[in-house]
């Protein structure tokens, strides 16, 4: 009995050491990435062009796989069962959409980013956050952004003047596609950027966590608008997320499903829309 107890204690210690070793290796990886960013942090603080180019490029890169799916889906039969939009978006529509977004970044997002960097004093510590710390701060930013977005989105839809002057352009895409996540009016695009900045400021997170939040925010917006419902989509792995079918219902019916990420606010306020058979795709 004593030997068995000793064996379990030793096993527990070994397991703890393995977990600690894995955590240290993950934290070391974050530190390695952060060292590259920290070496250029003065340039990042002084040049809004780099931040804006990075944001626009990230949106294009995240959207590119879905553009390829749209190009090949008419010729690949098995893709049809995962497609939830009726219309396949052509390359010319992708190109026009990218041009519109680029123009709005130049005339709207760039000046806002320059103003934000001139006002905000960001502290860049030499040490990267731990994996757990970065994860916690990123999720906190997502929860705050989700809340702010829901109430702003709900208000815009309930106010005809705001809807027609701010949000109407985004709803011209009834059949969503990935790049259209940022195909909005300049005022709406600036509002979304402001909500993201406010969310990060309220959390007071490490700059690395803030970068991670902006990357996750961009990816989730792309996935919400992609028009595909794959088994590995985030909303299938985590049911608390809405995902592409959930957001497509909003574009099809012009109401309900106002939250960008999670479902809880729509459930609380009774604005959750059921997903129809056509929007469920292969379900």
241: three-class secondary structure by DSSP: strand
Phi, psi of 239 (to 5 degrees): -60, -15
Report pLDDT digits (tens) over 127-179. 989 999 999 999 999 999 999 999 999 999 999 999 999 999 998 877 788 99
Supply the pLDDT for residue 2. Answer: 43
For tokens 């106002």, name the residue: 258
Residue 199 clears pLDDT 70, i.e. is over it: yes
Supply the pLDDT for residue 112. Answer: 87
Which residues lie across from 262 on neighbouring strands? Answer: 241
Burial of 183 (0-12, 13-18, 19+ CB in 10 A): buried
d(CA 87, CA 31): 45
Instruction: Work out the average pLDDT over 118-134.
Output: 84
227: three-class secondary structure by DSSP: coil
Q: CA-based Rg of the chain, rounded to a whole angstrom?
A: 22
Q: What is the pTM of this model?
A: 0.85
| All structural domains of the chain with their residue ranges | 47-120+134-269
Confidence tier at 220 by pLDDT (50, 70, 90) = very high
């Amino acid at each position: 009995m004593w030997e068995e107890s000793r064996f379990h204690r030793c096993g527990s210690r070994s397991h703890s050491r393995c977990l600690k070793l894995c955590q240290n290796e993950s934290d070391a990886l974050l530190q390695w990435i952060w060292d590259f960013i920290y070496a250029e942090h003065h340039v990042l603080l002084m040049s809004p062009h780099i931040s804006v180019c990075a944001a626009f490029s990230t949106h294009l890169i995240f959207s590119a796989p879905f553009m390829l799916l749209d190009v090949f889906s008419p010729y690949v039969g098995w893709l049809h069962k995962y497609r939830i939009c009726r219309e396949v978006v052509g390359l010319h529509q992708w190109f026009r959409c990218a041009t519109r977004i680029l123009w709005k970044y130049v005339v709207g997002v760039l000046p806002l980013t320059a103003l934000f960097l001139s006002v905000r004093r960001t502290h860049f510590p030499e040490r990267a956050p731990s994996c757990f710390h970065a994860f916690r701060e990123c999720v906190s930013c997502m929860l705050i952004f989700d809340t702010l977005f829901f109430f702003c989105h709900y208000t815009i839809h309930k106010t005809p003047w705001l809807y027609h002057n701010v949000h109407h352009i985004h709803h011209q895409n009834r059949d969503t596609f990935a790049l259209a996540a940022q195909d909005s009016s300049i005022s709406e695009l600036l509002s979304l950027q402001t909500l993201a900045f406010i969310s990060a400021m309220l959390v007071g997170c490490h700059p690395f966590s803030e970068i991670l939040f902006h990357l996750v925010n961009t990816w989730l917006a792309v996935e919400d608008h992609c028009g595909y419902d794959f088994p590995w989509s985030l909303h299938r792995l985590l049911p608390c997320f809405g995902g592409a079918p959930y957001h497509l219902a909003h574009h099809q019916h012009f109401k309900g499903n106002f939250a960008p990420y999670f479902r809880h606010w729509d459930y609380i306020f009774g604005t959750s829309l059921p997903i129809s058979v056509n929007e469920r795709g292969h379900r």
